[in-house]
Structure 1
Amino acid sequence: MEYTSAGVILINMNSKVLIVQYPEGHWGFPKGYKETEDKSLVDTAKRELKEEIDISPNFFLDTNRYQFNESYGKKKIIYFIAFTINSNINLCNGLNSYKWVDIEDLDKFPGFLSKQIVRKLVELKLDDITIVKKVNLKDNITKTNEKVDIPPSKHAYSRLVPLELINDNIKIENIPNTIDSYYLNNLLNRVNKHCSNECFFIDDDEISNCWSMVNILPAVVWKVGKVYLPGKPSGCSIGKRPMNLYLKIMKDFGFEITENNGVLSVRVPFDRNVLVTRMVSDLISYGKFEWLNEEQHYLEELLLFLKKCGFEIYSDDYRIKIVALDKVVDQERVVLNCGHFPKICSDWQPLLVILLCHYLIPFELSDDVFENRFQIFSQLVYLNNNIVLNKKSSNKIVIDYCDTTEKITTSSNLEFKLLNIRDAAAILIASHQSKLNIEFSNLLQLFRGYETLENVLGEKVELYSYEKQ
């Protein structure tokens, strides 16, 4: 069948489906005609979604497996399934309205034309989705775009959110499309609707899935007077974190602030954690990394460390170029101390671990912040059997390598539960070189800090697909 149009069945965090009302009055899924610049029907679907409702989804389910079609005379439409954390819609192109609807209620809307498709849909939750890497899906992935797009920082956003509770003339722009943003926005909406003479209760979901909640709590208490927490903020399994890190005054963070007609606009800066993630991903995949931006990178300490490891570094405040070693060479053990500035950021520790292990650079590693950060080795050993781990203490380990020609003895399939934000990114990157089928579950952890899988893998995302468990 030759399709003339493509659309998206968009699902949000609450498992609701988006429908829009067209100027003619009928309701349907966002869709539109294929145009000459569209390289594929998936490109058509993505473009129409952006043009009609101003959303770029976090991911699409495998577009070869999960698709639906319908026909109206000569009009033949194909739909793909996508998932978004951001439920804020900006209607464009003359659309009348939109609604997030339970699947079973879709055919109750007047003039809804896709009732045949509704009968085939089932409720989907993020917990139902896994990322699957398949063996030899593509033999070789080439880097096609030197430009590395870095999304806004979730940490910076969580520190800006309290301003909206304190001042009605604050507008935050460039909001990251992550799990933490979802919970922070929901909390904001609930606080603004709250009756001030009653105790405000923070939900279990909010406090267990969003550690960034600590950054908004003082403003919430100031706004409502009394707040009840069911426990301490958490979010992942890397252990307790010292509160003083989040109580320090933010200096030189790179916020872009503008004022227009009395409204103060604060733009969230780019996410350095994602920048370092892509840096490691490209160095492992292609042996080089280049980046240029109008904002400063503030990565001097990290670049100095990589230079000590033997990488060639060319950089100034706004540009980075790194070239990896042509071949593995014997070198002395390097020392990687992670913690608060001026030490290497603890968030980058698992990413640097897989980089050093990939190039067989021996190292001594310590971490002053995250007590459970070394748990990535429980998964990494299944992908690299050269690693020799010697644990010196609860926060210090030494890594060397053994000469081995033995293959890792395992089945043709691996299953990894994503442990936390950065371990998740690291193990996904480390799986690049694997000749095994690998399935990754617990996607909540990945999307707590990354908008899309492309933020982690770049072009290598073509080796992976999203599938329903």
Structure 2
Amino acid sequence: MAKLVVHKSPPLRGSIRISGSKNAVLPILAASLLAEGKSIIGDVPNLKDVVIMQHLLQHLGVTIKWSKAKSEIELITDHITEYEAPYDLVSQMRASFLIMGPLLARIGKAKIPLPGGCAIGSRPVDLHLKGFSALGAEITQQNGYVEAYADKLKGSKIYLDFPSVGATENIMMAAVYAEGTTIIENAAVEPEIVDLANYLNKMGADIRGAGTDSIKINGVEKLTGTTHCVIPDRIEAGTFMIAGAITRGEVFLENVVSDHLKPIIAKLKECNIDVSETEKGIKVCGRNNIKAVDIKTLPYPGFPTDMQAPFMSLLSVAEGTSMVIETVFENRFMHVGELKRMGAQIKIESRSAIIDGVKKLTGTQVKATDLRAGAALILCALVADETTEISDIYHIERGYSEMEKKLAALGARIEKIK
């Protein structure tokens, strides 16, 4: 099994280009199932999750060419030959469930295993199914599979009990071919929702209100392939911002959208980190006295749950006591035990973590328990005395494209050992 070996590193310095968004490209690839013809998706990150989605779409009959050198995927979706997703693929990645809406809309049926992914807490698909049922689909669940069938979907008004990103995306995709108008209320407002809507509209959909809590979809008869470039990954950007801050370095991030990073920028500034925004990107300058802050994760535009673990690494070496409250996932403190092995002082009380900043962390053998936990361990390892070995790095590679190479280019002492 591959692992990362990280030595205490000097302050990181230099420029880094942020990849296309993992959480945007996966639903966009799923949405390609809705169209006939050829679509070209640009700025596609080289991630394990994208590989899984590629294999899943190919299983369904999509012809795919992926130029990793160009970060571009070409999809030909004239013929969908299968409606059942294989368990071995869906069990590896939760976003696989996003093919259900497009399949239901395009060919009227779908059969998908209950999804897997990082074990960060309960993420039921009941809101997805509630939306499909409201559109007129018949839903059955048995033997670990969900099956949906509909002769013709019909527009409806759907209220989400929680602004779920996945449910918003899946219902929005299902509704593009529904007869009449669909309105999703209490919809998620994340930038990735807007990017998906922009892609669908380029293909010929009629979607209004993406980025607000009320999305209106007028059903259309046909979608055709198009060309689209994925938005930058705000979570990768936030992680590299913290890498610059925790090492007291000076890092410039290219290919970022500052508006998507407002809560991260605000909290970094509270920590006494110098963050400046320009037309070309964002510059982060670390300081010796990192200050403690309190954080509460919330749906966008609040502080993102995906940044909770990486930010906790920074707070572990801050001056004073911080509190992190996790409101989105109930099991997203699995990284705490690994950080404590490195000398972090953290106490868990229900959904709150109390972090007493320490002056020194020490490298040891740790494992990535999930995607963002793995990033948190790398960040601590950059400033820990001695050497850190991180195992189970397949979690990290699900969401960060060649992270060790990007960090090494900034001066980090990090290498991947196979």
Task: Tell me if both proteins adopt one fold, taking TM over 0.5 as the criterion.
Answer: yes
Question: Among 344, 360, 371, which residue is 2:330 paired with?
Answer: 371
Q: Give the corresponding residue for 2:232.
A: 270
Change (3 A) 1:274 1:174: same
2:32 maps to 1:150? no
Q: Distance in 1 between matches of 2:379 and 2:313?
A: 8
Q: CA deviation at 1:224?
A: 4.4
Q: Give the corresponding residue for 2:40.
A: 171
CA deviation string 1:307-339 (max 9, x = no partner): 2232233335764333333336xx6x6320112
Deviates more, 1:317-326 or 1:422-431: 317-326
Q: CA deviation at 1:359?
A: 2.3
Q: CA deviation at 1:214?
A: 2.4
8 Å contact kept, 2:16–2:406: no
Question: Among 295, 302, 305, which residue is 2:267 paired with?
Answer: 305
2:233 maps to 1:233? no
CA deviation string 1:332-360 (max 9, x = no partner): x6320112023200000011101111223
Q: Give the corresponding residue for 2:165.
A: 245
Q: Give the corresponding residue for 2:367.
A: 417
2:115 maps to 1:159? no
| Unmatched runs of 5 consecutive residues or more in structure 1 | 1-127
Q: CA deviation at 1:151?
A: 0.9
Question: Among 132, 135, 148, which residue is 2:5 paired with?
Answer: 132
Q: Give the corresponding residue for 1:219.
A: 102
Q: CA deviation at 1:143?
A: 4.4
Matches within 5 A, 1:68-147: 128-133=1-6, 141=10, 143=12, 146-147=14-15
Question: Among 400, 403, 411, which residue is 1:453 paired with?
Answer: 403
Q: Give the corresponding residue for 2:180.
A: none
Q: Distance in 2 between matches of 1:448 and 1:438?
A: 21
Change (3 A) 1:456 1:337: farther
Q: Distance in 1 between matches of 2:80 and 2:95?
A: 26
Larger radius of gyration: 1
* DSSP-derived class of the 2:240 partner: helix
Question: Among 330, 333, 348, which residue is 1:391 paired with?
Answer: 348
Q: Give the corresponding residue for 2:155.
A: none
Change (3 A) 1:143 1:322: closer
8 Å contact kept, 1:274–1:456: no
Q: CA deviation at 1:461?
A: 6.9
Q: Distance in 2 between matches of 1:319 and 1:197?
A: 41
8 Å contact kept, 1:416–1:440: yes
Q: Distance in 1 between matches of 2:358 and 2:225?
A: 61
8 Å contact kept, 2:45–2:401: yes
8 Å contact kept, 2:33–2:103: yes
* DSSP-derived class of the 2:295 partner: strand
Q: Distance in 2 between matches of 1:432 and 1:365?
A: 22
Q: Give the corresponding residue for 2:86.
A: 203
* DSSP-derived class of the 1:299 partner: helix
CA deviation string 1:84-136 (max 9, x = no partner): xxxxxxxxxxxxxxxxxxxxxxxxxxxxxxxxxxxxxxxxxxxx322233x57
2:316 maps to 1:357? yes
Indicate the structure whose relative CO is greater, using CA pairs within 8 Å and at least 6 residues apart: 2
Q: CA deviation at 1:390?
A: 3.5
CA-based RMSD of the aligned residues comes to 3.3
Q: Distance in 1 between matches of 2:50 and 2:293?
A: 37
Change (3 A) 1:143 1:353: closer
Deviates more, 1:349-358 or 1:207-216: 207-216
Q: Distance in 2 between matches of 1:251 and 1:366?
A: 20
TM-score of the pair, normalised by structure 2:
0.67
* DSSP-derived class of the 2:118 partner: coil
Q: CA deviation at 1:286?
A: 3.2
Q: Distance in 2 between matches of 1:460 and 1:129?
A: 22
Q: Distance in 2 between matches of 1:350 and 1:460?
A: 22
* DSSP-derived class of the 2:341 partner: coil
The aligned length equals 321
Change (3 A) 1:263 1:272: same
8 Å contact kept, 1:141–1:459: no
Q: Give the corresponding residue for 2:305.
A: 346
8 Å contact kept, 2:274–2:284: yes
Change (3 A) 1:161 1:197: closer
8 Å contact kept, 1:311–1:325: yes
Q: CA deviation at 1:186?
A: 1.0
Question: Among 304, 321, 329, which residue is 2:283 paired with?
Answer: 321
Question: Among 174, 182, 186, which residue is 2:51 paired with?
Answer: 182
Q: Distance in 2 between matches of 1:292 and 1:460?
A: 13
Deviates more, 1:267-276 or 1:171-180: 171-180
8 Å contact kept, 1:315–1:321: yes
Determine what percentage of the aligned residue pairs are the same residue: 21
Q: CA deviation at 1:417?
A: 2.0
Q: Distance in 2 between matches of 1:264 and 1:422?
A: 32
Q: Which amino acid in the other structure matches residue 352 of structure 2? A: K
Q: Which amino acid in the other structure matches residue 374 of structure 1? A: F
